[in-house]
Amino acid sequence: MEFSTQSSASLHQIKTSALAIGVFTNQVLTPAADIIDRASNGAIRKVLKSEFSAKSGSHLVLRNLEGIKAERIVLVGLGDQDKYQAAQHKTAESTFAHYCIQAKLSEAVSTLAGVDCNGTTLRQRSSGAAQAVLAASYRFDATLSTKAEAIKLSKYLQWVPRTLVSESKAGLDEGTAIGKGVNFTRLLADLPPNICTPTYLAEQAKQLGKTYPSLKVEVLQRKQMEALKMGSFLSVAKGSVEPPVFIIIKHKPAKKAADDAAPLVLVGKGLTFDAGGISLKPAANMDEMKYDMGGAASVMGSMLAVAELNVNHEVIGVIASCENLPSGAANKPGDVVTSMAGKTIEILNTDAEGRLVLCDALTYVERFKPAAVVDIATLTGACVVALGHINSGLFSPDDSLAEELLNAAKQSGDSAWRMPLDERYQEQLKSNFADIANIGGPAAGSVTAACFLQRFTSAYPWAHLDVAGTAWRSGKDKGATGRPVPLLVQFVLDRCQQAK
């Protein structure tokens, strides 16, 4: 896919298969829509009065308008002007991209990034445009006998004034990198668990290292993890014949913004299949537990994007990956294991395994003396109950870090909501037989899961993203979303900007 800018011609003189212009509800025209309306003798306003309400996500195709050289004018609904933000812009770009792909067009021009959008810059909107187009282009056919029809859309232009071309181009480059990372994340997560095993994830990480010179990849095997005393993580892996892996991906820029800048660390939960262990999950929808490595996949996708952009800050991705299955060797409710940090853990429910895996990873990353650590995990069904499938759950005792991530979420349109992490919730994790229990009962389940992880993060600023409700969709549209890659990469980019 080629992304570029168009600034040399007046809108009504652009020759293209499809030209996207945005309109708001209540017949409010964007500047681009006003230009086309004037050139077509009021054709746009006439349509808005009679048949198009401009609801967000809607579109209407107008062909062969008098005075317009574009074959099609695609009216894209933007919704209420006062509520138009990054998420609505991404929806608009996605609407246009899906139309172009469905219509089997080879090229198109969009004016949508030029629409003022609350709290965003043209660069950010241009990034969102490229991301939307690449997301619309994603097709999963890796395990299909008949491959998907090739996408014909190969050239996507963004119309902006000549003075804004460089800013637009920078945004398109960022969005292309993020879009590639999102689609890589989706592919890894959508693969079936008999293909995407922990070993397969490690192989894909090594391939990233071969593709991008800035990435250095190391994979720890069971014996090395035993030497590190990762007893909590390894206990989860006991029930499966698939060997566990611990993946470290380091982005080392040629020149950092500051030589003494501490790295940012992303930690991903990589359960390539989670049956719940002895505390077996219900059979219904258990196939979706291949998505329990969504956190790990998002770390891989984020590292791809970071390498594509060659950001001038050291970023480290860490993935702890295994399967959680029932067997004669598996963890049992009541078992007590010892974590890498030396804390003992009573396993009251073997299906609360993600925290057992992550706690050793969070201890391991202390050696990097990080500026901040963000872990990403499809951790709790309780977070889905609390927030549904719109917001990822954000937990952090650090107000500054939490605010950074929330700002990145808003800018990227990859929404998150901060959840409580009060010390009083720690009471629910008390155990009579170990330093800590791995569950705190049904009340505030997502909070107590985060509280468990917090006990292993005192050495650095830390935040936890629970993406159990946002990493994939169920039902007829079943598939990975690639979230929260846009949020994570925006967070990294913002940190790079601060370091300048």
Confidence of residue 500 (pLDDT cuts 50, 70, 90): low
List the beta strands (DSSP E) in 365-442: 372-377, 392-395, 416-418, 436-437
Whether the upstream peptide bond of residue 484 has omega within 30° of 0, thus cis, is yes
Q: Indicate the average pLDDT of the chain.
A: 95
Nearest one of 254, 309, 2, 273 to 134, comparing CA atoms: 2
Q: Where along the chain do its domains lie?
A: 2-160, 179-499
List the beta strands (DSSP E) in 244-338: 245-251, 264-274, 315-324, 336-338
Q: What is the mean pLDDT of residues 74-91?
A: 92
392 pLDDT higher than 90: yes
Helix (H/G/I), strand (E/B), else coil: 132? helix
254 pLDDT higher than 90: no
Confidence of residue 312 (pLDDT cuts 50, 70, 90): very high
CA–CA distance, 445 with 127 (Å, rounded to integer): 36
Cβ(352)–Cβ(431) below 8 Å: no
Confidence of residue 90 (pLDDT cuts 50, 70, 90): confident
Q: What is the pLDDT of residues 430-460, one digit of tens each?
A: 999 999 999 999 999 999 999 999 999 999 9
Q: Which of 123, 186, 290, 355 is catalytic?
A: 355
Q: What is the pLDDT of residues 5-28, one digit of tens each?
A: 987 678 999 999 999 999 999 999
256 pLDDT higher than 90: no
The confidence score (pLDDT) of residue 439 equals: 98
- For 2-160, CATH gives 3.40.220.10
491 pLDDT higher than 90: yes
CA–CA distance, 52 with 68 (Å, rounded to integer): 20
Q: Which of 155, 222, 281, 473 is catalytic?
A: 281
38 among known catalytic residues = no
355 among known catalytic residues = yes
CA–CA distance, 344 with 337 (Å, rounded to integer): 6
Q: What is the mean pLDDT of residues 401-417?
A: 95
Q: What is the mean pLDDT of residues 49-62?
A: 94
CA–CA distance, 129 with 76 (Å, rounded to integer): 13
First to last CA, the chain: 31
Q: What is the pLDDT of residues 124-138, one digit of tens each?
A: 999 999 999 999 999
C-alpha distances in angstroms, 74 versus 20, 66, 229, 442, 488?
5, 15, 60, 50, 32
Residue 120, burial from CB neighbour count under 10 angstroms (0-12, 13-18, 19+): buried
Residue 466 pairs in a beta bridge with 377, 393
**What is the length of the chain?**
500
Cβ(198)–Cβ(188) below 8 Å: no
By percentage, how much of the chain surpasses pLDDT 90?
A: 91
**179-499 has which fold?**
Aminopeptidase (3.40.630)
Q: What is the pLDDT of residues 259-297, one digit of tens each?
A: 778 999 999 999 999 999 999 999 999 999 999 999 999
Asked which of 62-71, 112-121, 196-205, 363-372 is least confident by mean pLDDT, the reply is 112-121
The confidence score (pLDDT) of residue 162 equals: 87
